[in-house]
A and B are shown apart, each in its own frame.
Chain A
């Protein structure tokens, strides 16, 4: 009975021996200040990214509500411009938190209530004239949120005076605008309240890597957002990469156009980038990957810097699509396609290389290691 014990011990010693030989030349040992500590990472995300981000959005939504109230009380070009400005500011702020579609935001489908475009202008007009609508219906998804406000504040008529006049003469327009903003405030209020209530602790204490863990949910939400709502939604679909023909009418903030669509896209991209890179000395996906010692074993390069570099390249390409994204889709669409392709490279590294290195699982079904 002693034999296997001895062999096991001998083998463990051999393994240790090999390890101590193998470790020296690698030089890839993690820096002492980083640790494979998911709880610290989740805590930082909750307290320093999600909650402050939601707070800033909340502030902007409060202003939007005030301005909308003032506009509907006295629809003039001046109050319209103030409302539009508040809408723009809130829309930009939203881009910094749309990627947090997990936990409470996922439970209420926050994105569906806030930013599914193109807006259904015909449906919105039907709602306005009928006066009956339920924002929880799936058909109502593109009839609310920022895209609906885009239509309501910029597209219901031609020219600011005409738009203001529309609201001055139509109580049902005033009511719909008020209801859209109220619905956003209400839906977001639920999410915001839960993060400031018990969900924050639930979130940081779910430290596993299985399909129900916080890390897995964050990574899935993050890569899904990057792939489907930034890469495809903001650039790919209007550039026609899915279908072969450009469809500029499907772009974000279509009714206002000008500089805003690109500002929204670059703000969203920066949020994705910052979520990965984090701040020096603070936990982030980058520091977590470094702590894991994740590197491309073909080239020996750290995975975190490969991803970071590609995100930078992707941002460069995207920001070159200005000043007016709509003009780009119509006049030089090839540049938009190039930007999509550059984003796709980054998406793959996030979805495949990073997710693999983090070892988070995406399904609950058994597997025996592929």
Chain B
């Protein structure tokens, strides 16, 4: 029993890696090999698909657009959520519980419900097809999430910290930036990780709100898949590249993931 324990996670990880391997496998194959034969690894190894993506501007601008609005959204969400989470963790005020639940309902709202009104709304304020539009629309679910996670971390900091600082003559803002924020760095890191993650993987709103100028990479892929039929190799290469930013981010927060989840606020 004891010895077989590693078996379950191992099988699970193999199951997780198989489709990813298959995607990588496809991305290094030529189109003829993909269509004509079934091979477990690329027989004619080619980097042609990746070359196309890095030289064709319709492809690589997709990546830049995605990264641009994801970073913008992460910064906005965390910056707005910090003071709000502090308020929720430290004070009671009129309507606090209702406000908190109302915020959470937006995390629960199906994006499909918002697709059409967002399209009309952002068009009417002349923000359609801009990075700002996508970054702002992702605030709908990322800000509630950020408030929720940060509130968990802030509540874990004893209130004595605040009181001691005030006794020592710190003003509120000086305390907030010099003492409080450094003590919850891990929490902010986790929050940024989740904001990044949910903005990076969301496509429905990002696709609805963009046409050309701010089109995300994931939407570019959808176009290729539907119009030009069997460019599977190219599609696989583009897909493989979208895994990289996520993998980098996970690597940086690997020691905090479990801790972040431990607060049960995700």
Asked whether A and B interact, the reply is no
A residues neighboring B (CB under 8 Å): none
Using a CB–CB cutoff of 8 Å, the interface residues on chain B facing chain A are: none
